[in-house]
Structure 1
Amino acid sequence: MAGRSAFLDLPGAVAGTDPDPGVPAHYGNPVSEQRMLAAGRAIVDLSSRGVISVEGPDRLSWLDSVTSQSLKGLSPASSAETLLLSANGRIEHAIRLFDDGVTAWLLVDAAETAPLEAWLQRMRFMLRVEIADRSEEFATVGRLAARAGDPVPPALAAVAAAPSGVVLDWADPWPEIVAGGVQYASVDEHPGATWFWHETLVPRVSLPALADAVRRGEVGAAGVLAAEALRIVAWRPRLSTEVDDRSIPHELDWMRSAVHLAKGCYRGQETVAKVHNLGHPPRRLVQLQLDGSDAVLPAAGDPVLLAADAALPADAAPEPLGLVTSVGNHHEWGPVALAVLRRQAPEGEPLVVRTEAGDVAASADTIVGPDAGAAVGRVRLPRLGARTR
Structure 2
Amino acid sequence: MSRSPILTRHSEGGAVPGPGEFHSSETPWHFGDPLSEQRAAATGVIVVDRSDRSVIEIPGTERLSWLHTISSQHVAALPDRRGAEDLSLDANGRVEEHFVLTDIDGVTWIDTEGARGEALLGFLTRMVFWAKAEPAARPDMKVITLIGPGAVSGPVAELLEIDADAEIYQAGSLPETHHEDEPLGFWRRMPPIGEHRDLPVVDLVIPEYVLLRWWDALVEAGARMAGSWAHDALRVAARRPRLGADTDERTIPHEVDWIGGPAEQGAVHLDKGCYRGQETVARVHNLGKSPRRLVLLHLDGSSDRRPAIGDPVTAGGRTVGRLGTVIDHYEWGPIALALVKRNVGADAELLIGSAEPDTHEPISARIDPDSIREDDHVQAGRAAVERLRSGPATPGA
What's the counterpart of residue 30 of structure 1?
Answer: 34
The answer for the alignment partner of 1:169 in structure 2 is: 187
**In structure 2, what is the equivalent of residue 321 of structure 1?**
320
Equivalent position of 1:382 in the other structure: none
Distance 1:167 1:279, change over 3 A: same
Measured after TM superposition, the shift of residue 363 of structure 1 is 0.9
Which letter maps to 2:322? Answer: L
Question: Is residue 89–residue 97 contact of structure 2 (8 Å, CA) maintained in 1?
Answer: yes
CA contact (8 A) 1:281 1:373 kept: no
Asked if the contact 1:161–1:201 (Cα under 8 Å) also holds between the matched residues in 2, the reply is no
Q: Distance in 1 between matches of 2:377 and 2:124?
A: 31
Q: What secondary structure is seen at the aligned counterpart in 2 of 1:19?
A: coil
Output aligned runs, 1:76-225, within 5 Å. Answer: 76-135=80-139, 137-146=140-149, 149-150=152-153, 153=157, 168-173=186-191, 192-213=196-217, 218-225=222-229
Partner of 2:240: 236
Distance 1:108 1:345 in 2: 31
TM-score of the two chains, using structure 1 as the length reference: 0.82
1:53-100 deviation digits (Å, cap 9, x = unpaired) = 111111111111111111111111112111111111010111111111
1:270 aligns with 2:279: yes
CA distance in 2, matches of 1:294, 1:66: 46
For the Cα contact (< 8 Å) 1:96–1:170, is it kept in 2? no
Matched, 1:361 2:364: yes
- Deviation larger for 240-249 or 156-165: 156-165
Residues 50 and 107 of structure 1 are in contact (CA less than 8 Å); yes or no, is this contact kept in structure 2?
A: yes
C-alpha change, 1:12 and 1:143, in structure 2 (3 Å) is: same
Deviation at 1:150, TM superposition (A): 3.6
Q: How many residues align?
A: 352
Point out the structure with the larger helix share.
2
CA distance in 2, matches of 1:114, 1:89: 21
Asked whether the 8 Å contact 1:287–1:338 carries over to 2, the reply is yes
Shift of 1:211: 4.5
More deviation, 83-92/145-154: 145-154
Amino acid at match of 2:14: G
CA distance in 2, matches of 1:305, 1:369: 21
Which among 299, 320, 341 is matched to residue 308 of structure 2? 299
Per the TM alignment, residue 155 of structure 1 is displaced from its structure 2 partner at its CA by 6.3
SS in 2 for 1:25: strand
Cα distance in 2 for partners of 1:215, 1:171 equals 19
Range moving further from structure 2, 321-330 or 151-160: 151-160
- The answer to whether the 8 A contact 1:275-1:373 is kept is no
What is the TM-score normalised by the length of structure 2? 0.80
Q: Percent identity?
A: 37
CA distance in 2, matches of 1:55, 1:215: 33
Query: 1:163: Cα distance to partner?
Result: 7.0
Asked if the contact 2:57/2:136 (under 8 Å) is kept, the reply is yes
1:199 offset after TM fit, Å?
1.7
1:156–1:49 CA distance, 2 compared to 1 (3 A)? farther
Higher relative contact order by CA 8 Å / sep ≥ 6: 1 or 2?
Answer: 1
Which range is displaced more, 96-105 or 150-159? Answer: 150-159
User: Gaps (5+ residues) in structure 1?
Assistant: 176-189, 310-316, 379-389
Looking at structure 2, the residues matched to 47 and 162 of structure 1 have their Cα atoms a distance apart, in angstroms, of 22
Unaligned runs of at least 5 residues, structure 2: 162-173, 261-265, 383-397
**Aligned equivalent of 2:15:** 13
Alignment RMSD (CA, Å)? 2.8
Structure 1 segments, 4+ long, off by >4 Å, are 151-167, 211-218, 368-374
Call closer, same or farther: CA 1:222–1:29 in 2, change over 3 Å. same
- Output the amino acid matched with 2:38: Q
Change (3 A) 1:8 1:375: farther
Report the residue type matching 1:170 in the other structure. R
Aligned to 2:335: 336
Note the C-alpha offset of 1:147.
6.9
Distance 1:148 1:281, change over 3 A: farther
* 1:232 partner amino acid: V
Matched with 1:184 is: none
Question: What secondary structure, in the 3-state scheme, does the structure 1 residue paired with 2:362 have?
Answer: strand
Q: Could you tell me how far 1:153 is from its partner in structure 2?
A: 4.2
Q: Which has the larger radius of gyration?
A: 2
Equivalent residue for 2:392? none
The amino acid that maps onto 2:280 is T
Check the 8 A contact 1:68/1:260 in 2, yes or no. yes
Aligned partners of 1:145 and 1:344: how far apart in 2? Answer: 36
Q: Secondary structure at the match of 2:69?
A: helix
Equivalent in the alignment of 1:261: 270
Deviation at 1:241, TM superposition (A): 1.1
SS at 1:62's partner residue? helix
2:244 counterpart SS class: helix
